[in-house]
Amino acid sequence: MRALVLRRLLHVIPLLLGISALTFLLLHLAPGDPFAAMAENPQISAETLARMRHDFGLDRPAWVQYLLYLRNIALRGDFGQSFAYHQPVARVLFARLGNTLLLAGAAALVTWGLAIPLGVLAAVRTRTWVDRTLSLVAFAGLSVPEVISGLALLYLAARTGWFPIGGMHSLDAGELGAWGRFVDLLRHLVLPALVVGIVPLASRMRQMRAGMLDVLSLDYVTTARAKGLPEPAVIGRHALRTALNPMITLFGLTLGSLLSGSFIAEFIFNWPGLGTITLEAIQRQDQYVVLGAVTMAATVLVLGNLVADVLLAIADPRIAHE
């Protein structure tokens, strides 16, 4: 197991370097710089702009800027300064990263908490009205884009008042107690989590159904039934564990879709996460904030795949020795 984790961690380093280098290159190819808007102000002299560009190292070649950026991260854990917020990038992004992870985690509960039991139910009741109904729901979930479902839920919240229409906290949340603030956060979290979790829920439910049908046709399941074991024991104790192995492998891929879906939901519901601050940073050409946000999102995705590999090795010990 330790060797498996070390191999995966060694693969992470060149991957993150490649992602950060490509992001830096794309930002450098964009016209202008963070001080381009200031250049239109006649009260700011060209000498002042030149000095500011020199202070931030923007007058150096792009490859020098990138190497200095990597050196600061490696030696001091410094992700640079935000041009717009005038704060260290780590301080600007860490709170937003936590908000995005909270949204993605809630969406993961929606996806996996419903996909596994519904997929098993559809497989056990195959070719019945239950299976057909769940298949129709899955088809609808796969067909409706996240933007459309998000806007539909936002309209529903605005018309009914059942849920808040945006943000992460109510305006009077500071006056509530600890339990009241928790409930208020959950109410704001419900709709974004549903939007993010619906699309992967539909596909994972169908995959769970297909995997369960394959396992139920195997000889050892037939033998268990022939021995007179109750059907719940056959499903839960014998078939489910084997059928879950492919789903564990898909955990990392699902995390990627949850992160990208979280970015979309953040725009629709004004959720203060990495997606909204990344868009603002791109518009302001705040390159170190963009670099930090992309690197953090890529790190979470890579670690999610690592967790999926570890879980799969635990479920199937043969994986750890390959």
In a domain, 231, yes or no: yes
Same domain, 180 and 269: yes
Angle between helices 178-216 and 240-249 (to 10 degrees): 110
What pLDDT was estimated at residue 140? 80
Give the integer Cα–Cα distance in Å for 143 and 140.
Answer: 5
Same domain, 203 and 317: yes
Same domain, 25 and 162: no
CATH value at residue 211: 1.10.3720.10
Total number of domains constituting the chain: 2
C-alpha distances (whole Å) from 218 to each of 116, 179, 247, 293 are: 20, 49, 18, 46
Give the integer Cα–Cα distance in Å for 322 and 308.
Answer: 16
Same domain, 65 and 150: no
What pLDDT was estimated at residue 36? 65
What pLDDT was estimated at residue 38? 63
Same domain, 143 and 16: no
Please classify residue 272 by burial: count the beta carbons closer than 10 Å to its beta carbon, then call 0-12 exposed, 13-18 middle and 19+ buried.
middle
Same domain, 50 and 111: no
Block mean pLDDT (10 aa), the chain, length 322:
70 83 83 65 67 68 81 79 80 84 86 88 87 85 80 85 81 74 85 85 86 84 80 80 76 71 82 85 82 84 75 61 50
Q: Side-chain half-sphere of 143: how many Cα atoms within 13 Å? A: 6
In a domain, 49, yes or no: yes
In a domain, 87, yes or no: no
Same domain, 129 and 37: no
CB 119 within 8 A of CB 141: no
In a domain, 163, yes or no: yes
The domain boundary, picked from 76, 109, 124, lies at 76
What pLDDT was estimated at residue 239? 80
In a domain, 175, yes or no: yes
- Three-state secondary-structure class, residue 81: strand
In a domain, 85, yes or no: no
In a domain, 29, yes or no: yes
What pLDDT was estimated at residue 220? 80
Same domain, 21 and 145: no
What pLDDT was estimated at residue 210? 87
Q: If you search the block for the tokens 């995966």, which residue do you land on?
A: 8
Same domain, 52 and 148: no
Same domain, 124 and 70: no
Give the integer Cα–Cα distance in Å for 122 and 119.
Answer: 5
In a domain, 281, yes or no: yes
Same domain, 250 and 144: yes
CB 196 within 8 A of CB 104: yes
Torsion of CA 207, 212, 218, 224, to 10 degrees: 170
What pLDDT was estimated at residue 315? 60
Same domain, 34 and 174: no
By residue range, what is the domain housing residue 267?
Answer: 96-321
Give the integer Cα–Cα distance in Å for 273 and 96.
Answer: 4
Which residues face 88 on adjacent strands?
A: 81
